[in-house]
Amino acid sequence: MFSFMKNLFGKEQGEKALDELKKEIQEESAFDIDELKETEVEVEKEQAKTSAPAKREKIKTELSLHPLWEQELDSEKKYTLRFLQEELPEIARGLISVTGFSMIPQPNGMIVTMFFRNATDKPVRFKTIGLAIYLDDKPFARIRIDLSEMGSIPPHTSRPWEVLFPEESYLHDNFQFSRWKVVMKAGNRAHIWPRTLELDPEMENRMTDRQKDRLEKLANSLPPIPVNTVQVTGFDIGKTKEGQLVAAMLFRNGLSTEYRPEQLKVTISDTDGDVVARGVLDARKICVQPGNSRPWLIVFPPEFVKKPDANLRRWILDVE
């Protein structure tokens, strides 16, 4: 515990150190309290959640330390946390949010220190919630964690807490980045916008920056999908010299669990309605996290291509 403090107070202290630390405060990931499930947060005093007023007023939060932190930290460390909390922007009433301000590599993973902010008018307890680290807006690590030990967060306060992202939560090994943030993965919405891209490391290594940019734009331009559904969108197609047909598709997962199909029946047709290629895909390697998108390539051998001369300027993908 207190890895952030050990790292900070192992350095030169003073106004310069605080100014440098202030730059580490990351952007906020916020949710309306009404959007969260009962398994994710608990509003205390057994009062029903109330909808936020039409015109949200902004409030300034104050520091709230867990009793153990209050006991273990000296006045200098408390001052540092209070200083950082004061640097946080005002937050709209009725929201809860998370803001990261320290990320420290460890032998067994990555420790991220963050402020959990309660802008509601009632004490709130976090339960089990999804958290993710993003490096340059790309997912790096993802966990679901029980935060009940953090205790009750009073109204209009921010509570600092450390979370370990173990190595097994990493989605890839690329640590090169210019900025990072923590994103809260939660909520009980009717629709999901799976804009978070998961790229298979092997596929990512073969892709050009232009291809990655195009894929990211696609994920951000597609409409939301209903909760508890999975949608597949074809976005690129081509033929090889050997007569193979290669199709790229984007899986978008609106389930609350991982999407792990065993096999998929894939059909590609042209605008005339003719079947161009059809086959059954061994899909056991496909895994899409909840609320995320993942691209995948399928290669049809020449014998599965039923219309080699098809015009594929426009094509239709059907996945069962």
pLDDT tens-digit profile of 81-128?
999 999 998 888 888 899 999 899 989 999 999 999 999 999 999 999
User: pLDDT digit string (tens) for 18-74?
Assistant: 666 666 676 677 777 776 777 888 887 644 444 444 445 889 999 999 999 999 999
Structure tokens at 147: 């935060």
pTM listed for this prediction: 0.56
- Is residue 100 within 8 Å of residue 114, measured between CB atoms? yes
Count of residues making up the chain? 320
| Alpha-carbon span 288 to 272, nearest angstrom | 32
| Alpha-carbon span 8 to 12, nearest angstrom | 8
CB-facing half-sphere around the CA of 5: CA atoms within 13 A: 16
Share of the chain above pLDDT 70, in %: 84
Return the CATH number of the domain spanning residue range 196-319: 2.60.40
Q: Where are the domains of the chain?
A: 3-188, 196-319
